[in-house]
Amino acid sequence: MEKELIIFGTGKIADVIYYYAKEECGYKVAAFTVDEKHKIHSTYNGLPVIPFHEIEKTYPPSKYNMFIAVGYHNMNRLRETKCSEASTKGYALISIVSPLTHLPKNVIVGINCFIMPPSIIHPCVTIGNNVFIWSGSIIGHHSAIKDNCWFTSGCNVSGNVTIGNNCFFAINSTLGHSIEVGDDVFIVANTLVTKKVESGKVIIKESDKPIKLDSKQFLRFSNFSSL
């Protein structure tokens, strides 16, 4: 019999994970757990909340799996640390991959990964441990993503791209074909990257400046409303 699931976290990320785990992936969620200093309520989504330091007493790893559902704090290192602590306690960490992503059979996915539909993952892709890929993202063929990365909605990774550990890609960021991204790289929203990025870099595209025309003038001169 498949083990029931414990979710670490009681925030917005945990809410999303809880929905996909239960409604689309068919897991039975038994409880939530957090560090005791963050335990505000005794229940969450109608399920018990147990302090993490004693979770194995009532929900032993022999009978339960776990998923670490926290955000990208400190370039995903908080989530990485909690994955390590859960594994040390003996819990198997599962991945939550919506069946609606229609993941190709030869895609490799590590532990504690989350892939939300309608993401598109091409064949021959390798995804490491603790990687979160949000809705509308595309991961191109023969790309390799290492551990502890976060792709917000609408990210585009072209084919044959290599991405290091603990990277963050903001909404609508795009990586060109066959480039290499190092560790601890932060790519800001709407940024196009076409060259190798060294570890520790932040890539920023300046926000577009407003044009001189107001919106009514723009619509009149551009004939946009007639399209």
Predicted local confidence at residue 2, as pLDDT: 83
- DSSP state, residue 52: G
Statement to judge: residues 57 and 123 lie in one domain: no
- The structural domain count of the chain equals 2
Among 94, 118, 147, the domain boundary falls at 94
Is the model's pLDDT at 225 over the cut of 60? no
* Average pLDDT value for residue range 165-170: 96
Is the model's pLDDT at 1 over the cut of 60? no
- The neighbour count for residue 70, using CB atoms within 10 Å, is 21
| Domain presence at residue 225 | no
Structure-derived torsion over alpha carbons of residues 131, 136, 137, 138, reported in degrees to the nearest 10: 130
Statement to judge: residues 85 and 34 lie in one domain: yes
The CATH number assigned to the domain holding 182 equals 2.160.10.10
The CATH number assigned to the domain holding 86 equals 3.40.50.20
Predicted local confidence at residue 224, as pLDDT: 52
The string of pLDDT tens digits covering residues 171-205 is: 999 999 999 999 999 999 999 999 999 999 999 87
Statement to judge: residues 102 and 25 lie in one domain: no
CA 163, CA 144: separation in Å to the nearest integer?
Answer: 6
| Domain presence at residue 223 | no
Statement to judge: residues 119 and 173 lie in one domain: yes
Predicted local confidence at residue 212, as pLDDT: 79
Predicted local confidence at residue 113, as pLDDT: 98
| Domain presence at residue 227 | no
Predicted local confidence at residue 217, as pLDDT: 73
Quote the percentage of the chain above a pLDDT of 70: 91
The domain in which residue 199 lies consists of: 97-206
Statement to judge: residues 116 and 191 lie in one domain: yes
Q: Distances in Å between the alpha carbon of 5 and those of 71, 75, 127, 154? A: 19, 26, 22, 29
Statement to judge: residues 146 and 189 lie in one domain: yes
Is the model's pLDDT at 226 over the cut of 50? no
Is the model's pLDDT at 211 over the cut of 90? no
Confidence category of residue 85, pLDDT binned at 50, 70, 90 = very high
Q: Give me the half-sphere count of Cα atoms (radius 13 Å) on the Cβ side of residue 204.
A: 4
Structure tokens at 114: 């989350």
| Domain presence at residue 215 | no
| Domain presence at residue 214 | no
The string of pLDDT tens digits covering residues 16-29 is: 999 999 999 999 99
Among 61, 79, 94, the domain boundary falls at 94
Predicted local confidence at residue 223, as pLDDT: 60
| Domain presence at residue 211 | no
The string of pLDDT tens digits covering residues 100-139 is: 999 999 999 999 999 999 999 999 999 999 999 999 999 9
Show the CA angle centred on residue 57, arms to residues 147 and 37, nearest 5°: 65
* Average pLDDT value for residue range 36-60: 96
Statement to judge: residues 90 and 102 lie in one domain: no
pLDDT averaged over every residue in the chain: 93
Predicted local confidence at residue 138, as pLDDT: 98
| Domain presence at residue 24 | yes
Q: 98: closest CA among 170, 17, 12?
A: 17
Placement of tokens 């551990």 in the chain:
147
Is the model's pLDDT at 207 over the cut of 70? no
pTM (2 d.p.):
0.91
